[in-house]
Amino acid sequence: MVIFGERGRGKTSLANVVGETVSTYDFRVIRHACDADSSFGQIVAAVLAKVPARLLRRAIQEGEPWTLPAPDNIGVVEATNAFCSISAGRLLVLLDEFDRISSLDLKRQFVELMKNLSDAGARVTFLLVGVAQTLDDLLFLHRSIQRSLIPIHLPLLTQDDIEVLIRQGERMSGLSFTLQARSAITSFSVRSPYFAQLLCLHSGKAAVRAESATVEHSHVRCALQATAEELAYAHEDAYTRAVGGAAGGWKEELLYRAATRDSGPFGEFTAADLRPEGNEYDIEAEAAVDRALANLVSPEAGCLLRETHASDARSYSFSDPAMRLYILLRYALPRETGELDVTRDRLPTDTFPGERTSANHDSR
């Protein structure tokens, strides 16, 4: 099984739920977080060291002592033999942070190991977890293993999921969130469980500091302000570079639309999704927008966007969900009055492709 998706999507949380669920069915769960420096032998040795003796019953009964080979001596064959000697119960090996492994050779070794264990009907299931857009990004796959893999690409949360998340937090913390507060958190969470939790946490802390058991809109504003400052530190330069340095250019509006328009389950959007509201694009305008989006994928633009393969049309998503939130906050926060709502009139920029003059928008 492979769980993949962008950072903060809830991959580890889902893997933990899988681990807890299977442990009630006679599975022993062994967790290991990968790092960039470990070798195949070191990772396998670390996992094997945690295999309880009771799972190795037959080997022990037959008087063969269970000795771990030294990490340097563990290759795919040794690892296959070791895992195949598990003869009681079942084992789930949860390898988290698998994306930290950059060596193709090492990935290939794991693929081979999983293939061998699957062919041998071993009592071991691997659950790999990592940040990736596609399964291929995470794993070096040959076709023969694809049949024995269950890939799970984690989608973004829905608005209803975020509502559930806030309700759970209310139950656990004893705080209650007003309608306005939950609506602002939902709007600014960019449908990421990580950001939804973070905004709830900071808003809750602001409420507690103010000795209030109710999280109000003003507390969410404090949380957003703090988050905006943190994000500006890491993202402002990249943003400025991507829009070409010129404030008020139509690329700013483009990115703002990309950040606000409700996109697909994986946060993807196409040039057509960014058309001016109530306007039809002509082909040239759509092509100009698509070119601008493609340009934002390039290293010169800091790879702000990446191309996804979620639909027939060329689609894109933000490379980093934090950038999407930064863009929302950049424009939504300076407005001192009004609700913290990300839906708003267009930015005061020059003409967007497909729109006739900027004067048209001023009169809207």
Ligand X SMILES: Nc1ncnc2c1ncn2[C@@H]1O[C@H](COP(=O)(O)OP(=O)(O)OP(=O)(O)O)[C@@H](O)[C@H]1O
- Residue 50 DSSP symbol: T
Which range of residues in 10-18, 225-233, 242-250, 272-280 is near ligand X by CB under 6 A?
10-18
CB atoms within 10 A of CB 77: 11
Per partner kind, with CB cut-offs from 5 to 8 A, the member of ligand X, Mg ion, none near residue 263 is none
Name which of 327, 325, 167, 173 is nearest 254 in CA terms: 327
- Binder of residue 257, out of ligand X, Mg ion, none (CB less than 5 to 8 A by kind): none
Of residues 286 and 320, the one with the C-beta less far from ligand X: 320
By beta-carbon proximity to ligand X, the closer residue of 7 and 54 is 7
Residue ranges in 106-145 that form contacts with ligand X under rule CB under 6 A: 131
Judged by CB under 5 A, the stretch of 4-12, 21-29, 141-149, 251-259 that binds Mg ion is 4-12
Cα separations (Å) of 294 from 126, 165, 189, 239?
Answer: 37, 35, 26, 16
Site for ligand X in 158-187 (CB under 6 A): 165
Among the listed ranges 178-186, 191-199, 220-228, 270-278, the one in contact with ligand X (CB under 6 A) is: 191-199
Would you count residue 10 as binding ligand X (CB under 6 A)? yes
What is the length of the chain?
364
Q: Which of residues 61-100 bind ligand X (CB under 6 A)?
A: none
Task: List alpha helices for 174-307, DSSP H.
Answer: 179-188, 193-209, 217-242, 250-260, 283-297
Our finding on whether 319 is near ligand X (CB under 6 A) is no
The single residue among 1, 12, 163, 205 that binds Mg ion, judged by CB under 5 A, is: 12
The H or E element that residue 328 is part of is helix 321-332
Residue 16 as a binder of Mg ion (CB under 5 A): the answer is: no
Residue placing its CB nearer to Mg ion in the complex, 267 or 354: 267
Query: Which of ligand X, Mg ion, none does residue 142 bind to, with CB < 5 to 8 Å depending on kind?
Result: none
Biggest distance spanned by C-alpha atoms of the chain: 87
Angle formed at CA 299 by CA 328 and CA 267, multiple of 5 degrees: 40
DSSP string covering 56-117: GHHHHHTT----PPPGGG--HHHHHHHHHT--SSEEEEEEE-GGG---HHHHHHHHHHHHHH
Cβ at position 301, least distance to ligand X in Å: 23
Q: Which of 2, 4, 9, 259 binds ligand X (CB under 6 A)?
A: 9
Given Mg ion, ligand X, none, residue 194, with its beta carbon under 5 to 8 Å by kind, binds: ligand X
H or E stretch covering 164: helix 159-173
Residue type, 9: R
How many chain residues touch Mg ion (CB under 5 A)? 1
Q: Does 321 bind ligand X (CB under 6 A)?
A: no
Among 11, 182, 202, 324, binds ligand X (CB under 6 A): 11
Does 197 interact with ligand X (rule: CB under 6 A)? yes
Q: Which stretch in 9-17, 100-108, 163-171, 339-347 sits in contact with Mg ion by CB under 5 A?
A: 9-17
Distances (CA, A) of 180 to 52, 165, 184: 52, 16, 6
Cβ neighbours of residue 313 closer than 8 Å, sequence gap 6 or more: 270, 271, 272
Residue ranges in contact with ligand X by CB under 6 A: 7-13, 131, 165, 193-194, 197
